[in-house]
Amino acid sequence: METIVSGARPTGQLHLGHLHGALKNWVKLQDHYRCYFFVADWHALTTDYATPQGINQSTVEMVMDWLSVGLDPTKAVLFRQSRIKEHAELHLLYSMITPVPWLERNPTYKEQIKELTGKDLSTYGFLGYPVLQAADITIYKANKVPVGVDQAPHVELTREIVRRFNQVYKPIFPEPEVLLTETQKLPGLDGRKMSKSYGNAVFLSDAPKEIDQKISRMVTDPARARRTDPGEPEKCPAFQLHKVYSTPDEIAEVSAGCRSAGIGCLDCKKIMIRHVIDDLAPFREKRAQFESKPREVEEVLRAGNQMAQKQAAATMIEVRETLGL
């Protein structure tokens, strides 16, 4: 079985964007690969180093969501990055051989420096986060890394670091390949990318009433200012949710109704809201069970940390031997 590694920053409760962007894929992948899925809490510090207080709680909330969508600890190793100190050791050794210009030309680095203007990101840790990522992936000798098409360059940097290590010392690491996964980008309630920090998210754990209220307020095609104005579904963020949740017949019906002003936006949304609520029903049920037994979540992480640590420790013995350390 080939190995896959992927991680997510502890953002607390997850939303529909996470579900369709990564989680649904992870749930499928766990049946076909040896999967390591980790809470990237050290990565959270690369941008949010000044506010580490919520990390513990966010970790538990996120893993609760992982388990509730169907990640199965008997199939995949679920663990917390900061509990496996070997990641930090390999990161250090990789940092010795990684040229700084490789990191400076990283498009995400440049983009985030521009975007996150409220934070001082001129730190060594932020510049070097792809080196930590390379360590996260390769310490489990991953063959593949599941990413959406826009994240493929990140894996390329890991491959470059691995190539360099294998050339300078000894070829002990496989070069991980990109496993392109189809992701569906869901807009948030205001039409921007769905994000907790924008306050525009539908959370997986939202109650049916909350889901109804939130999506009922979601922005639509601005051309439909009045009920009698015809619209264009492709210009409507709410229609993107229809495309994910509604049946082909329903999509055809609301598209025609939108273009002819034969249907009002609220009635149009109600059709899809019902599906969103139904789709999340099993999730809510499972999450309620975990909420009543938070110890179970901690136990899952403890067992996952142990399994991950065993593999990471074995890799580091090999690395230290290779370097004569």
Binding site for ligand SF4 (CB under 6 A): 220-221, 224, 231, 233, 236, 238-239, 254, 258, 263, 265, 268-269
Q: What is the smallest separation between the CB atom of 90 and ligand SF4, expressed in angstroms?
A: 49
Q: What is the smallest separation between the CB atom of 47 and ligand SF4, expressed in angstroms?
A: 34
- By beta-carbon proximity to ligand SF4, the closer residue of 119 and 235 is 235
By DSSP bridging, strand 34-39 and strand 76-80 are: parallel
CB 253 within 8 A of CB 259: no
- Rounded to the nearest angstrom, the gap between the alpha carbon of residue 260 and the centroid of all alpha carbons in its chain is 38
Helix 129-138 and helix 41-48, axial crossing angle in degrees, nearest 10: 180
- By beta-carbon proximity to ligand SF4, the closer residue of 125 and 264 is 264
Q: What is the smallest separation between the CB atom of 184 and ligand SF4, expressed in angstroms?
A: 17
- By beta-carbon proximity to ligand SF4, the closer residue of 241 and 297 is 241
**How far apart are the C-alpha atoms of 251 and 263, rounded to whole Å?**
12
Q: What is the smallest separation between the CB atom of 189 and ligand SF4, expressed in angstroms?
A: 12
- By beta-carbon proximity to ligand SF4, the closer residue of 182 and 249 is 249
CB 173 within 8 A of CB 136: no
Mark out the alpha helices in 191-324 (DSSP H runs): 208-216, 237-245, 248-259, 265-292, 294-323
- By beta-carbon proximity to ligand SF4, the closer residue of 178 and 238 is 238
Q: What is the smallest separation between the CB atom of 269 and ligand SF4, expressed in angstroms?
A: 5
Nearest to 40 by CA among 6, 70, 77, 76: 6
- By beta-carbon proximity to ligand SF4, the closer residue of 48 and 212 is 212
- CB-based contacts of 80: which residues, under 8 Å, 6+ apart? 38, 39, 41, 59, 301, 304, 305
Q: What is the smallest separation between the CB atom of 253 and ligand SF4, expressed in angstroms?
A: 10
